[in-house]
Amino acid sequence: MHRYARALVAGKVVEGFLEEDAFVAGDIRHSLDQVRLVAPCRPTKIIGVGRNYAEHAAEFGTAPPPEPLLFFKPPSAVTDPDADVVYPRQTRRVDFEGELAVVIGVRCKAVRADEAEEVIAGYTICNDLTARDLQRSDGQWARAKGFDGFAPLGPCIVAGLDPRRLRLQTFVNGRKRQDASVADLTYSVPQLVEYISAAFTLEPGDVISTGTPAGVGPLQPQDVVEVVIDPIGILRNRIVAPAS
């Protein structure tokens, strides 16, 4: 099973594969302490799906939506595995939202659900960070979901996975906060690809973040968030206070 990744090697972003103790680019093996992993793709758009687990919808006092509830995160929200994320001054509550992310492999439009696998490059992890107070007060989600760094991605992309067999867990400072089977998605990955591609042309590297399960909660500066999906790995980020 290949775990495609990108890393900063001697000041240059290089494509390769992630092994347990090394980043491999061509014939060269780099110890992981000699490189810095970066986001495994550079999407033109990140399409999020709201309230796509029934228990998450219930914890906010709502039912699952009658159709997928979509929103965008800008490319500038993307940040790297192990990168620090700045807690914006404009908000008083930033929540973690661990999610399975679908990475598109080819330019496509109007894809049928039964053809979805043909356009998916693989799967990675996204932490759909959200300024919860602004989400409520703004009346729409662009600012709340779109701050710089609010879409950590990584650590790698794995092809050929069956999303229904994956388990997602999120830890904050080592304490488990989310634990769910991706099979519990209200709208499955093929359904999402069909619904989203009916509206938008998808480009290689674009990301569909499939929704978060129950258990979301607030973060504070110095908190470390880890979203875990085996065999993709661990997406780890630290929240930091804004510079004075």
What are the structural domain ranges in the chain? 1-38, 40-240
Whole-number pLDDT of residue 60: 82
Whole-number pLDDT of residue 64: 87
40-240: which CATH architecture? Alpha-Beta Complex (3.90)
**CATH code at 1-38:** 2.30.30.370
Q: Where are the alpha helices (DSSP H) in 44-175?
A: 54-59, 132-138, 142-146
Tell me whether the CATH fold assigned to 1-38 matches the one assigned to 40-240: no
Detail the DSSP E strand segments found in the chain.
Answer: 3-9, 12-18, 22-25, 28-31, 36-38, 46-50, 69-73, 78-79, 84-86, 94-96, 98-104, 120-127, 130-131, 151-158, 167-172, 175-181, 207-209, 217-219, 224-229, 233-240
Nearest Cα to Cα of residue 192 among 53, 41, 58 = 53
d(CA 205, CA 124) in angstroms, rounded, equals: 11
d(CA 237, CA 244) in angstroms, rounded, equals: 21
> pTM, whole model, 2 decimals?
0.97
Q: Which two tokens stand for residue 91?
A: 């908000």
Q: Are strands 46-50 and 207-209 parallel, antiparallel or unpaired?
A: parallel
- For the chain, 244 residues long, the average pLDDT of each consecutive 10-residue run is 95 95 95 96 98 89 92 98 98 98 98 98 98 96 98 98 98 98 97 98 98 97 98 98 87
The answer to whether residues 129 and 83 touch, using CB atoms and an 8 Å cutoff, is no
